[in-house]
Chain A
Amino acid sequence: MNRTVSIFVWLMVGLLGVAAVAVIAVHRGEPINALWLVVAATCCYALGYRFYSKFIAAKILALDALRATPAERLENGRDFLVTNKWVVFGHHFAAIAGPGPLVGPVLAAQFGYLPGTLWVLVGAVFAGCVQDFVILLFSVRRDGKSLTEMAKEEIGRVGGFVAYTAVIAILIILLGVAALIVVNALKDSPWGTFTIAMTIPIALLMGLYLRRIRPGKVLEVSVLGFILVLLAIWGGRWASLNPSMAQAFTLQGTTLAKLIIVYGFAASALPVWLLLAPRDYLSTFVKLGTIALLGIGIVALHPTLQMPALTRFVDGTGPIFAGKIFPFAFITIACGAISGFHALISSGTTPKLIARETEARMVGYGAMMAESAVAVMAIIAACVLQPGIYFAINSPAGVVGQTATAATATVSSWGFPVSAADMEALAHAVGEQTLFNRTGGAPAFAVGMAHIFSQSLGGATVMALWYHFAVMFEALFILTILDAGTRVARFMIQDALGHIYKPLGRTSWYPSILTTSALIVSSWGFFLWQGVKDPLGGINSLWPLFGIANQLLATVALCVATTIIIKMHRARYAAVTLVPLAWLVAVTFTASWHKIFDPNPRVGFLAQANILAAGPATMATARLVFNNRLDAAVTAVLVVMVALVLIESVRQWLGVLTGREEARVKESPFVMTRLAEERG
């Protein structure tokens, strides 16, 4: 393109972006259209990708198209494989996109649409995309090594140990909180429970079909599975209307929690082909389709945001989770802005597929931008709801009251009018008995999504189907994470135990499988049970704990990245990772401090434990006191470990910068690519 035209086009994109961000940031009073968020996001991503990622690629990483990647050098047709960049992009995106960018922004919408939107845009462009991109490239230059291995090599043994422990901790907390979201979405919902229960025989059927009838035809069986799931949603309506079926599938939170714990154990111990793999395929199929559908729906229908830009809860008194906008908005939204977990994927399968170094920019930076766009969609889905309805759905009974009248009166007293009749009509429209006390974000997202789609596709008559489709989509998604996460954690524990007693490290030895599965399932089951029994809904304490753990892993990833950049003699550009690192340290350490020591019992674990301990002593109280103290201890341990990595990293940086230590990066030697010759 002609240089003048190019400058003009990018100037226009910049101006449009500034205008859109100004509208969403400055506008007050009247509701605004969701398209403003879409335009702001599109312009920010376009500018970030075109200029910032290009700057990083050229000045810091010096991407070299002539350098052979591990996919080429170590190609074995299995893990290492030269793959088309778009295919790697899709593969990487499918792995990083989980329920996080959907749930976090929905919860953070309690502050209004503005804080979440700004954090998602700024966080992604300057932190999340950068982390995913640089870690991917550094792993490519180290034969596809994992974050844990890179931390050990570049920072030292402490770095490796902390990264390993943080991953296990995050997995356990994540699985606990993910299971809690499913429980809260399905409790007292015969329709939703029936649909999700049906996905188990559907997955088993898919597994058998794949294995016996049409081996390897995964896409075909996924389409069949999807059709069966749609029939299950339809059948859920019948189940909810049939008195005996409705009674059988109306389950309390505690019953659902027990069932999910048993399911998690079974899924971890059963052969992969029977349940885990088909479920994974089905969930990926539904996930990609639903995200695309939601994107098209928002652009085509461009709904109006009912939520104000900022709510009164920026002061920390929010009903969904307590705590001020800083730091809690920034740990509640992780995956849509920056997520430490992504660093595991950027240093997992993806670096072994990249054909050329130059493609790391599109895959690492670009896929995270797509993930961030999903978070923007989630914000829109939550904010199209009337705020009164949003808060009535998401607030725990312990905060708003046990009855419909009490809950609506409390929510209305906050300045967000809603009536018991409104809530009853909405519950009826989506085929539920009640929508009160549905903490966790999934039901609010489902109502928002159903609201958007029912404006055109089928109208209000099919709102219940859309709602249950959205609930099914999220629950399926989360249960797949539960299966896969339990197995990943199991393997990690088995690897570690194998150093102590060799047979324990054998992933096919049943005593080891059962012991380690039980260990992992009971660990996340503990957090799930704690959440189900928590009078404040569980999300209030568990989601921030998960957010802290996830962002602490991002801190470790950014420490590794900064260390490597300094060792590469690019210290003058180290701010690119150092600034997000400093921000994350400020956010996570402040959040951890509040979660442990804040005197407000809705925020601080110890304050809540002390208040409970001072009350009447019952078995339930003693358990809640113990849980709160344990949560405080887990947070403290994570923070101390990450502080150790930080100290160790700073020691390395100072050593290199002052010349006391040799700046030696552990890259694989340069090998000229053959692909360049082949492609001319």
Chain B
Amino acid sequence: MNRFRHVTRILLATLREIFDEAAYARFLYRKQLAVSPASYAAFLQDFEEAKTRRPKCC
């Protein structure tokens, strides 16, 4: 049961990383902000160039 919980946690963490939810959480922590449209807009601005510069394979 513990192992299942561990695997689920890792899987969720992976999905949160792939889908940039973790990056947003880190941004909020770093800037000491709360979840809001304004903070998300600031995150997108901060994150935009890094995200679009990431190559994705063929």
Contacts and interface: CB of A to CB of B under 8 A. Distances in A.
B52 A484 contact: yes
A98 interface: yes
A211 B40 contact: yes
7 contacts: A78-B30, A86-B13, A218-B19, A219-B21, A272-B44, A277-B51, A285-B19
Contacts of B24: 215-216, 218
Interface in A474-499: 480-481, 484-485, 487-488, 491
Tell me the interface secondary structure of chain B in the complex: helix
Contact of B13 (A84, A281, A481): A84
A297 to B, nearest CB: 20
Contacts of A276: 52
Contacts of B13: 84, 86-87
A339 B56 CA distance: 12
A95 B16 contact: no
A174 interface: yes
Contact of B52 (A99, A217, A285, A491): A491
Contacts of A196: none
B54 A348 contact: yes
A488 B10 contact: no
Contacts of A226: none
Q: Which of A81, A97, A219, A339 has the most CB of B within 10 A?
A: A219
A680 interface: no
Given A78-B50, A90-B15, A218-B20, 20 more contacts: A78-B26, A86-B10, A86-B13, A94-B18, A95-B54, A98-B57, A170-B58, A210-B40, A211-B37, A215-B37, A216-B21, A219-B21, A272-B44, A272-B48, A273-B44, A284-B19, A335-B57, A341-B55, A480-B56, A491-B53
B18 A79 contact: no
A90 B40 CA distance: 24
Contact of A91 (B17, B25, B37): B17
A440 to B, nearest CB: 14
Interface of A: 77-79, 81, 83-84, 86-87, 89-91, 94-100, 170, 174, 178, 210-212, 215-219, 222, 271-273, 276-277, 281, 284-285, 288, 334-335, 339, 341-342, 344-345, 348-349, 480-481, 484-485, 487-488, 491, 507, 546, 550
Contacts of B43: 216
A667 to B, nearest CB: 24
Q: Which of A86, A87, A89 has the most CB of B within 10 A?
A: A87
Given A81-B26, A341-B58, A485-B56, A87 B17 contact: yes
Contacts of B46: 78
A272 B51 contact: yes
Given A77-B26, A215-B39, A481 B15 contact: no
Interface size class of chain B, counting residues whose CB lies under 8 Å from the partner chain: 35 or more
B1 interface: no
B36 interface: yes
B40 to A, nearest CB: 3
A211 B16 CA distance: 17
Contacts of A222: 19
Contacts of A211: 37, 40-41, 44
A284 B58 contact: no
B51 A174 contact: no
Contacts of A217: 21
A4 B43 CA distance: 55
Contacts of A273: 41, 44, 48
Contacts of A507: 49
Contacts of B52: 272, 276, 484, 487-488, 491
B35 A98 contact: no
A661 B55 CA distance: 35
B45 to A, nearest CB: 9
B56 A215 contact: no
Contacts of A285: 19
A90 B10 CA distance: 10
Contacts of A78: 23, 26, 30, 46, 50
A335 B15 CA distance: 23
